[in-house]
Amino acid sequence: MEKLLAGKCYREVWFGVLVSFFLFFVLLCFDYSTSILDVYHGVDFLVIQHVRPFYIKDSCFGRYIYIHDHLPARFNYDLLANCHSLSTGSKSLSDQGANTSDNMCPHLVNSGLGPQIEKPGKVLANKSWFLTNPYLLEVIFHNKMKTYKCLTNNSNLASAIYVPSYTGLDASLHLWNFDLKVRDASAKDLVNWLSRRPQWKKMWGRDHFFVTGRTSWDFRRTSDNGSDWGTNLRFLPESLNMSMLSVEGSCWRNDLPIPYPTNFHPASDSEVVQWQNRVRKYKRHHLFSFVGAPRPGMQNSIRGKLIDQCQASSNCKFVHCGSPGINCNDPVTVMRVFEKSVYCLQPPGDSHTRRSAFDSLLAGCIPVFFHPATAYTQYLWHLPEKHTKYSVFIPVKEVEDLKEGMIEKTLLGISNEKALAMREEVIRLVPKLVYADPRSRLESEDAFDSALQGILERIENVRKVIREGKDPSTGFADEDWTKFMLAEAPEQ
């Protein structure tokens, strides 16, 4: 009898050990739900890691995004409804005139892509070409976010929180107003609304991001002088905790640049491949070209000397965008020249970056940059780190540095083999530089996908800093003027 009891106890002990081991193994296969509470400058930071059972394969894990869909309509949809008040460019409607073509209404069709180009001629390949206004990037991005496959209604599961505010369009209503209270009112209302949401307290805004079609400088007014340009949005305390994706970054690290929208918005992967094959076969009659206009009012602009060098060379094609009868807003005009050029000159414009740089890349034309902030220190999520793979750099600190004949001499010194390799790299980049039609979904990554991947990684790095017990504000919104310095040529 004692032996039977002993055997029974022995079996029960081993059964208990096996059950305990199994439970322990299961627990190891979970991502533990942890809450780390740290205090920085009197602020509590609560960081939650999501629980994911080992037996569930979730392709969206770490990529879920929550949208502030309840954002008051005055910050987005009301602006579209009042599109007749929105300027299409860098001037106020009163400066442009009062006809209907000057306002944004005609450009809002096709999910913000603009009117479809009806007469592409032999320049554009298919029907996925539109007259896209670059200021509408925030609208295009929002429409693409609506179909993002990893959206969640549970903000606790979200790795990032998207704020669908049309900040650039909103700012354009009052950028020319000398009354700073009027100019800054909407920005203050926006951050006040956000900071009162429960989602804000999770990371105090450091998991929030928004998108604008304007340059970051338009939101970085540094004084209270009404004659100074821009709003003060990015200097508001709450805004400092958010990341902003824009067509041009500033020297602050929470302003992150993404590509300007071009006029090509493919609806399928096959359209992208067809376009790549098309530009690969073009006969390039011009060694180099420049499409643009001089900047006589800008003392440090190199455009005047650049245009002189182009016009003095039989190897260069110049299209003067300020001349009567020449419409550089028509992609057929621009792409016709770029498609026939080996190299496309891309000097700074009103700011360091240019939409034209992405037009030239799209056409398979090798860009020639004169300042690193035009591309190299900007679009780190979209362009190769090794700049010589896809572009030519001619460093020009001062206007006088652009010596007579310097551009042509530099380009003639590049071998045909090197030029072909650079062009192939440019063509390879095309899929990640275009925003696919929001009404469709590509299998390959486009500019939107690369931007989301970049912002998700940035926010995850902030979480890592918090988990390590460090201050997440360190480096998050710091200044970094090195990207706008021209000390030497970028690393080869």
What does the pLDDT read at residue 90? Answer: 65
What does the pLDDT read at residue 122? Answer: 81
In the three-class reduction of DSSP (H, G, I as helix; E, B as strand; rest coil), residue 354 is classed as coil
Among the listed residues 325, 375, 334, the one whose alpha carbon sits nearest the alpha carbon of residue 483: 375
What does the pLDDT read at residue 1? Answer: 43
What does the pLDDT read at residue 397? Answer: 85
Write out the CATH class of domain 282-433: alpha beta
What does the pLDDT read at residue 101? Answer: 60
What does the pLDDT read at residue 338? Answer: 97
Q: Is the pTM of this model over 0.75?
A: yes
Tell me the residue type at 367.
P
CATH 3.40.50.2000, the chain: domain bounds: 282-433
Span between the terminal Cα atoms of the chain, in Å: 85
Tell me the residue type at 141.
F
Beta bridge partners of residue 65, listed in sequence order = 151, 160
Listed in sequence order, the residues at least 6 apart from 351 whose beta carbon sits closer than 8 Å to its beta carbon are 215, 217, 248
**Measured between alpha carbons, how far is 366 from 215 in angstroms, rounded to an integer?**
24
Q: Say if residues 163 and 208 touch (Cβ distance below 8 Å).
A: yes
**Measured between alpha carbons, how far is 375 from 382 in angstroms, rounded to an integer?**
10
What does the pLDDT read at residue 353? Answer: 96
What does the pLDDT read at residue 153? Answer: 97
Tell me the residue type at 58.
D
**Measured between alpha carbons, how far is 465 from 203 in angstroms, rounded to an integer?**
12
In terms of DSSP bridges, do strands 35-40 and 43-48 run parallel, antiparallel, or are they unpaired?
A: antiparallel
Quick count: other Cβ atoms within 10 Å of Cβ 106?
15
Tokens standing for 60? 């969206």
Quick count: other Cβ atoms within 10 Å of Cβ 162?
25
Q: Which residues of the chain have pLDDT under 70?
A: 1-56, 90, 92-101, 299, 486-492
User: Alpha-carbon dihedral of residues 293, 294, 295, 299, nearest 10 degrees?
Assistant: 160
Tokens standing for 101? 């073509």
